[in-house]
Amino acid sequence: MKSDVVLFGATGFTGRLVAEYLAAHAPSGFRWAMAGRNREKLEEIRRALGPAAAEVPLIVADAQDAAALQKIAEETKVVCTTVGPFALHGRRLARACAKAGTHYCDITGEVNFVRASIDENHVVAKESGARIVHCCGFDSIPSDLGTLMLAETFAERFQQKLGRVKFFAGETSGGFSGGTIASMLQLLDAAKQDRALRKLLRDPYSLSPDRKSDLDLDGPDSVRVRWEPSLQRVAGPFVMAAVNTRIVRRSNALSGFAYGRKFRYSEEMTFGRGPRAWVTAAAVVAGLGAFLKAATFAPTRMLLDRYLPGPGDGPDAEARKRGFFKIRIVAESEDGREKLLGRVEGTSDPGYGETAKMLSETAMALAAEDRSAGGVLTPATALGMKLVTRLRNAGMVFTVEPLPGSTSSSAGLGKSPAAPQPSSLDG
């Protein structure tokens, strides 16, 4: 009998957290298995999970072993994977799932990997019915589902599409794992040597289904520090804009421009108010620039490789528990008259506690999908508001309220509309 979900990468830092989440939250009768390249490590993880996981089957497979990955894909409804860097280890698995008609989700934030997967798998997955869903962690679920929630609210409340939407990552506490750093450095290394990749990374519509049909309203991601009047806060560049904005624009295009043809989308961070906020913002921008320089300059890169967390390392349980994130999304209607404020919040650290929750809930939601339109989709076009509901039930905040100082009516806000289906899945 097929299992519902196979978790590939259960021995990694994030994979372990996903395994813990599934052991604690999968409904009774839900059949899930753990896969990885090392049986002893898998056995140790299963023992540590205790009685709730005692019967969970273990599968040994390497990310480069196409035959083993095909077998996994054929014997489950959903594969969920944390094996990164995805550009190095992810392509064969996504391909196997697209061919087998098996749903797939991951937590990549690597635009080059997602683009390659679209080019290789979208047509195949449309035919097989596989839903291939990348970026199901902190990048890019809050962005993608937060925007969807606002689009639904504007449609329901004002019969309006979206105009300008501005995402702001606000107060946050969290850390980085060795795997995340390895993936960032791997992308920097690849971009240093590859002009076409640098061009792809600069393109605001790099994940578009049909580049010719884009209106090119959005320019490059923000690189400056400025005052954001709608929130009365200092705003500056947000490193994850480089992937999140592309995913959100893909959602709009895949859904037949359901958010609107005038939809514009940007992402920045906020730093509070007052002189200290300006100084912090400037320091963060300078720090990011210094990190990028250090990572691409051989002598300082050796130091980074030596002192940054390695594979399997990451923020400890105490730090994860203390972690949280708060996102505000300021959205205008297409005619510019109505303005609303969306909020997306999590109650543990964004990259690991909340990411494990987001990926696990995505995998369980995909396992509940029987007949579906396949393709290389986004969280919003694959699962829509159904996933928002699941994440709300799992403790995340997704709300909409009037923007302070605007005249939009608040009546009826906060309801959760039904899940939309993608109207066009041309990849």
Ligand X SMILES: NC(=O)c1ccc[n+]([C@@H]2O[C@H](COP(=O)([O-])OP(=O)(O)OC[C@H]3O[C@@H](n4cnc5c(N)ncnc54)[C@H](OP(=O)(O)O)[C@@H]3O)[C@@H](O)[C@H]2O)c1
Q: Which residues are near ligand X by CB under 6 A?
A: 9, 11-15, 36-38, 41, 62-64, 82-86, 89, 107, 109, 137-139, 177-180, 183, 311-312, 314, 351, 355
At its nearest, how many Å lie between ligand X and the CB of residue 33?
15
Q: What gap in Å lies between CA 230 and CA 207, rounded to an integer?
A: 29
Give the sign of the dihedral formed by CA 83, CA 87, CA 89, CA 91. positive
HSE at residue 361, side-chain half, CA atoms within 13 A, is: 25
* Angle between helix 111-128 and 91-100 (nearest 10): 10
* Cβ atoms < 10 Å from Cβ of 79: 29
At its nearest, how many Å lie between ligand X and the CB of residue 137?
3
The residue (of 209 and 346) whose beta carbon lies closer to ligand X is: 346
At its nearest, how many Å lie between ligand X and the CB of residue 292?
17
Q: What gap in Å lies between CA 166 and CA 186, rounded to an integer?
A: 29
Rounded to the nearest 5 percent, the helix, strand and coil shares of the chain are 45, 20, 35
At its nearest, how many Å lie between ligand X and the CB of residue 89?
5
Identify whether 140 is preceded by a cis peptide bond (ω within 30 of 0): yes
At its nearest, how many Å lie between ligand X and the CB of residue 13?
3
Which positions ≥6 away from 224 have C-beta within 8 Å? 236, 237
At its nearest, how many Å lie between ligand X and the CB of residue 266?
20
The residue (of 182 and 331) whose beta carbon lies closer to ligand X is: 182
Extended beta strands in 82-225, E state: 103-106, 131-133, 162-173
Say which residue the tokens 């979900």 belong to. 5
